[in-house]
Amino acid sequence: MITEDTKVLVDKGIMLPLMEEFYTIQGEGFYKGTAAYFIRIGGCDVGCHWCDVKESWDATMHPPTHIGKIVENAVSYSDTIVITGGEPLTWDMTILTETLKTQGCKVHIETSGAYKLTGVWDWICLSPKKMKLPTEEICAVANELKVIVYNAHDLIFAEEQAARVNENCILYLQPEWSKRDKVVPMIVDYVMKNPKWKVSLQTHKYLNIP
């Protein structure tokens, strides 16, 4: 049972529902192949049916953890930190990211962009979802757009989102893992015809690492 005092601290971003944290190799997007420390924050109501971390959705299942402890753990492993979820922007990321920055960290986020952008970021990976579209605010500053492709219609959605992001945003199409055998040929063909896009793969799954 979370006390009212704890709830206040969570709402302020002084504590956050921590699902898991681990040191690994970034598997996707621009920084694939890079060693990084991942902080997975619980809580998400975007509801992607193909989500591979559905256990992250219910924030009450994950213990509110003081950001001081989260930062202490993170900086003991790496100076490249990736905040993911769940949907991390469900919560105020200001204090966590500012504290990480004071420790000399490069701070990245993986987000659907559906909620207000908080925090100080060195890299923003925007992975928009049809159920809750990203805000104009985050489209204007995203460093990479990563669209998950489950079926052919997702390519139409990808172009709609590409039209919303800034001109410097790197564009990625990534096959949904369970449909990869079907959609990879479609993505490869699309990227060859539309070379503004790049292919992103979940290389960590091929490497069998977290």
Q: Which segments are annotated as binding site?
A: 25-27, 40, 44, 48, 50-52, 84, 86, 127-129, 210
Known binding residues for S-adenosyl-L-methionine: 50-52, 86, 127-129
Q: Which residues contact 130 (CB under 8 A, 6 or more apart)?
A: 157
Residue ranges in 67-178 assigned as alpha helix (H): 67-75, 94-102, 136-139, 153-162
The whole-angstrom separation of Cα 14 and Cα 198 is 37
Known binding residues for [4Fe-4S] cluster: 44, 48, 51
Buried b / exposed e over 101-139, threshold 16 CB at 10 Å, is beeebbbbbbbbbbbebbbebebbbbbbbeebbbbeebb
- Find how far residue 195's CA is from the centre of its chain: 24
DSSP label of 32: T
Known binding residues for substrate: 25-27, 40, 84, 210
Residue 29 in tokens: 């997007």
